Amino acid sequence: MEPITLKDIANALNISVTTVSKALRGYIDVGASTKKAVLKMAKEMNYTPNTVAVNLRTQQTKTIGVIIPSIVHQFFSNVMDGIINEAEKHGYLVITLQSNEKLEFEKKQLHLLQQKRVDGILMSLSNETYQFDHINELLQNKMPIVLFDKIGKLVKCSKVIIDDQSAAYNAVSYLIEKGYKRIAHFRGSLQPQNSIDRFLGYKKALIDHGIKFDSSLVYLCDNNDDFNDGYTNAKKLVNEHQDVDAIFAITDVVAVGILKYFNENNIKIPEDIAVFGFSDWFMSSVVTPTLSSVVQPGFEMGRKATEILIEEIKLEHKKIPYSFQKIVLPTSLVIRKST
């Protein structure tokens, strides 16, 4: 069955195609009775607007692309909820792609979104992203891009982040003020800025509280910051440092791996060793013991990044200059039984 067109509605009502088009778009120069008749006929005939034709006319697809490192992380799931919620308010479709923390995947997906003629792009960088030519090239071609969470400081575009260094500093300071002195850090990969900043916050908290920084207490979790990194490094820590009394982990999923190893080996938490996570996933409140964590506002991050991107899309379409924004969202600590 052929799709219903404006011409079909016009023929049914014996009016012009222009009048039908104006009525459907709410033009004020179309009479109320005509407009009502057009809308009624369009509904009866199951008319669906031709989005391809609309896109050609407006030079917009009403589509935004999103590239995230991993879809399984609850944090990014919360971010996506915020993105979709805000995009739907403005009539935008969201195309979501996953880089799997691989730079080459990220490059290919950025190119794919460009081919799909998306109006703008939201990105959280992969752990392997250390150079930004693929992003800067699109920015130079006037593609609106907003980075969130994992960003590149050398990329000149709008960004929505938290203050990772301050958040880490607050978490480690809390541990120190509770009496813990020998604190290890299970850090993330070396490239991402948020991993670097959380490490710097950890280190600064120690120094500011008169505790000497010991590099041997820093363990690298570079396998996508996952559960196994926490479990394996917890075992290594116990063998190498019997005197450690607390751990600050790069993410909650790493912290849960730590908890599992300690629970299996009768290491009491927090009596023998305390554990502090980051992101406040749902699982943090249901594991044993429940996990103290940094509350990271994923939904608001996604919502705000989308709000900024849509505004930049509109300004770019109208050829109106705009300034890039840097939004730093607040974090807080949630204290549970692991500390």
CATH number, domain at 116?
3.40.50.2300
d(CA 296, CA 333): 9
Structure tokens at 230: 């926490």
pLDDT in the model for residue 135: 95
Element (H, E) at 160: strand 158-162
Same domain, 138 and 86: yes
Same domain, 264 and 306: no
Same domain, 33 and 69: no
pLDDT in the model for residue 54: 52
pLDDT in the model for residue 48: 75
**Angle CA 56–61–62, to nearest 5:** 135
Closest alpha carbon to 310 in 57, 54, 65? 65
CA 114 to chain centre: 20
Backbone angles phi, psi at 329, to 5 degrees: -85, 150
Structure tokens at 155: 């990329």
Same domain, 320 and 227: no
Element (H, E) at 20: helix 17-24
Per-residue pLDDT tens, the chain, 339 aa: give them.
567 888 888 888 888 888 888 888 777 788 888 888 888 888 888 877 765 555 545 567 799 999 999 876 788 989 999 999 999 999 999 999 999 889 999 999 999 998 888 999 999 999 888 889 999 999 999 999 999 999 998 899 999 999 999 999 999 999 999 999 999 999 988 888 899 999 999 999 999 999 999 999 999 998 655 789 999 999 999 999 999 999 999 999 999 999 999 999 999 999 999 999 999 988 899 999 999 999 999 999 999 999 999 999 999 989 999 999 999 999 999 999 999
d(CA 258, CA 289): 11
Cα–Cα distances in angstroms (integers) from residue 218 to residues 27, 66, 189, in the given order: 65, 33, 12
Cα–Cα distances in angstroms (integers) from residue 43 to residues 7, 16, 48, in the given order: 15, 18, 9
Same domain, 122 and 240: no
Range of the domain at 90: 58-162+298-330
The pTM (predicted TM-score) of the whole model is 0.81
Q: Do 177 and 339 contact (CB within 8 A), yes or no?
A: no
Same domain, 271 and 310: no
Q: Is residue 336 part of a domain?
A: no
Q: Is residue 247 part of a domain?
A: yes
Q: Exposed e or buried b for every residue in 131-164, given b needs 16+ CB within 10 A?
A: ebebbbebbeeebbbbbbbbbbeebebbbbbbeb
Q: Give the count of domains, the chain.
A: 3
Same domain, 141 and 77: yes
